[in-house]
Structure 1
């Protein structure tokens, strides 16, 4: 049973509203992100570890705790950037359990619902968007394993695949998972899921879009399993709507036969009889519709394949940072500089620090600036996050408001301006106040400051903190 969390505040940041649904891993609520004042979908994980099918995304020992497994899964989710995959915005661990937030899709329809109002090209376009998302996942060794209409949403013609709670690496996991009506025959028979199992689910979706029903009756579980394992679907039930604005000649028996053959091959009982890849299905659909351009990848899709690198090497540096993290947890903070040319893996190395810190419930803050950024830009995002959980006097809040102009809204109270001082004194007061906020943290904090080549006076608060950082639970 899922207990309603409506009205709760998660991690001092997310205010939960109505329940949107209950998925394979837990409950999803509409939520307001107090930091960004935007609406998100927040999923709280409630499922036991052995039901998740989670495995590590690097060649390390299999996780033995739920938080470690989930951190690896969340990191995978957050690293996925594709126009047809839901964006995971943030994740964390609280006393109430792990969570992650996603972009919110109001008034979205499932792929089957959206397809009802579309002609043949429109429905095929939705299938191709799904297949493009799968091609991206499969090329990153990720199998979705729970493709179904509710996990493929359409809004404004754009499709998003979501709910990767059962995604696994190709080489791991053989336990049965997913939604029964969309599970491939070989998986029902006990074989581990592969890319071909995801393609079978696409076949079921395509059948539903063009026949108006599932390939087999779903009201009797035993009968459904028996038919999925041993009976062929009735491909004669497929109906292909006219192409809007198309000539009768294009609505030929050849087109219907080609589409039927594609769906039939996707629904083949044996994985090797299906298409070898999602991209191959896209190509087949392009040939059937005489649209070779459908197989072409956009620049946005091509770029997405470059954004999910695995951690390779740098183990000595990682171990140094993890040792510094352990010291910070014990109240012996330190400051580290990670330097090097662009593209050598600095950000990836810091991920190896960030994830273990989050697993331990440590607050991880991130500050960044660029050319032309205003002074103290590095501190704006970290301070906004800390302001949600740190008691601030009117004086301190008034000082911080000079660089956080929306602090009144963030804290939900009117903040008076700090007393005016000479420029030099005002700057020193700001530096002292920023450092004081970090010194006031009773629990460990990891602060990641990126692109320091643009820093000038923005680093003065760091110099102030360095005076006694060895006595603080702070790692910078």
Structure 2
């Protein structure tokens, strides 16, 4: 049996997802089975490249579900060492385009860090490594730190890797069990906006804001940094656009308003446990369910405006969040009903 708590500080704090278990526990930061590990949103690579990697590892025709086969392919790397420095320890999770492992770094305290691997080619390496270098130079309390990055080979296959802070949990993991309350969503919103303001002021975007990339390290809420890019650099993924991509992304347009759209989707998902439907339909404004939070209805609708010019800025959202948070209840510990893993 497992229970989790979501602690909401009285003011100016962050939401903390802290697992408590009386059964043999996974180490902090490990994703539940079938979920993305912290910071493992889709990145580089292509489905064709991933397919080729899997076939090379296993040989022959793929006769099982591709995601399961990819997971099995990633776990087979455990025990390998990246560039003779980073041993691939416990497998934490994967997306369609990346795998994440626990590793150790003698240069860090604590030494436990995470390493993400991405199948690559020369063109992808030339575009991605400078982005990680730029993100690694950033220091902000609500951005996950990137420590090292580079290229490597595993059994002759080319990969990019980045070594990052080891996250205890993600919002996506919590949402498997229950939605956030309005007060919890506001507490989550403030540090998220703080990080976005920092990035947007430098003509950068987070790039893939979603619950799987909203993380907790210790008592700090942080956003994944390995997806950060320049506002005009275009998306990092060759994937079909997802619900987190704004309508203009389908036409190659990019701006800081992309993050605001993704924030609106993530807020809706945090409060309902599912992303909004009908976002791909041509319409002047999103229509939210009648029972959606009245406190967040207006701001989510504005964030999901089809036109990027109609979406609020980070500054506007900070003012709204601080105004709405005034006089909120004191710190509390909110217990989630016990649930069983698996």
- In which range does the TM-score fall when normalised by the shorter chain? 0.5 to 0.7
2:243 pairs with 1:206: no
Between 1:70-79 and 1:20-29, the stretch displaced more is 20-29
CA distance in 2, matches of 1:112, 1:131: 21
Q: How does 1:120-199 map to 2 (within 5 A)?
A: 120-155=182-217, 157-162=219-224, 164-165=226-227, 167-173=228-234, 180-188=242-250, 190-199=251-260
Q: Normalized against structure 2, the TM-score is what? A: 0.64
Q: SS at the partner of 2:90?
A: strand
Among 129, 140, 161, the residue aligned to 1:99: 161
Whole-Å separation in 2 of the counterparts to 1:203 and 1:112: 19
Q: Distance in 2 between matches of 1:95 and 1:175?
A: 21
Distance 1:101 1:174 in 2: 21
> Is the CA contact 1:112–1:209 (under 8 Å) kept in the aligned structure 2?
no
Flag structure 1 segments of 5+ consecutive residues without an equivalent. 50-64, 217-223, 240-255, 293-476
Paired position in structure 1 for 2:302: 265
Match of 2:85 in 1: 13
Contact 1:26/1:47 (<8 A) preserved: no
Equivalent residues, number: 249
Larger helix proportion, structure 1 or 2? 1
Matches of 1:191 and 1:71 in 2, distance apart? 22
1:166-218, Cα deviation, whole Å (9 max, x unpaired): x3312332687576121112223x141211111011111111222343211xx
Distance in 1, matches of 2:283 and 2:219, equals: 35
CA separation of 1:174/1:116 partners in 2, compared to 1, >3 Å: closer, same or farther? closer
Judging changes above 3 Å, is the alpha-carbon distance between structure 1 residues 197 and 177 closer, same or farther for their aligned structure 2 residues? farther
Q: Whose radius of gyration is greater, 1 or 2?
A: 1
SS at match of 2:147: strand
Tell whether the 8 Å contact from 2:179 to 2:270 is kept in structure 1 after alignment: no
TM-score scaled by length of structure 1: 0.47
Pair 1:85 & 2:143 matched: yes
Counterpart-to-counterpart distance in 2, 1:213 and 1:234: 12
Contact 1:91–1:99 (CA<8 Å) still a contact in 2? yes
Measured after TM superposition, the shift of residue 290 of structure 1 is 3.4
> What SS class does the counterpart of residue 93 from structure 2 fall into?
strand
**TM-aligned CA deviation for residue 283 of structure 1:** 0.9
Match of 2:102 among 25, 30, 50: 30
1:73: Cα distance to partner? 1.5
1:71 equivalent to 2:129? Answer yes
Q: Distance in 2 between matches of 1:102 and 1:174?
A: 21
Q: Greater share of strand residues, 1 or 2?
A: 2
Note the aligned Cα RMSD (angstroms): 3.0
**What is the distance in 1 between the residues matched to 2:320 and 2:282?**
24
CA–CA distance in structure 2, aligned partners of residues 67 and 122 of structure 1: 39
Q: Does residue 286 of the first structure (1) align with residue 322 of the second (2)? A: yes
1: CA distance, partners of 2:117 / 2:131: 14
Aligned equivalents of 1:88, 1:282: Cα separation in 2: 26
C-alpha contact (below 8 Å) 1:176/1:187 kept by paired residues = no
Higher RCO (CA 8 Å, separation ≥ 6 residues): 2
Unaligned runs of 5+ in 2: 1-53, 55-69, 329-342
**Take 1:208 and 1:31, find their aligned partners in 2: how far apart are those partners?**
31
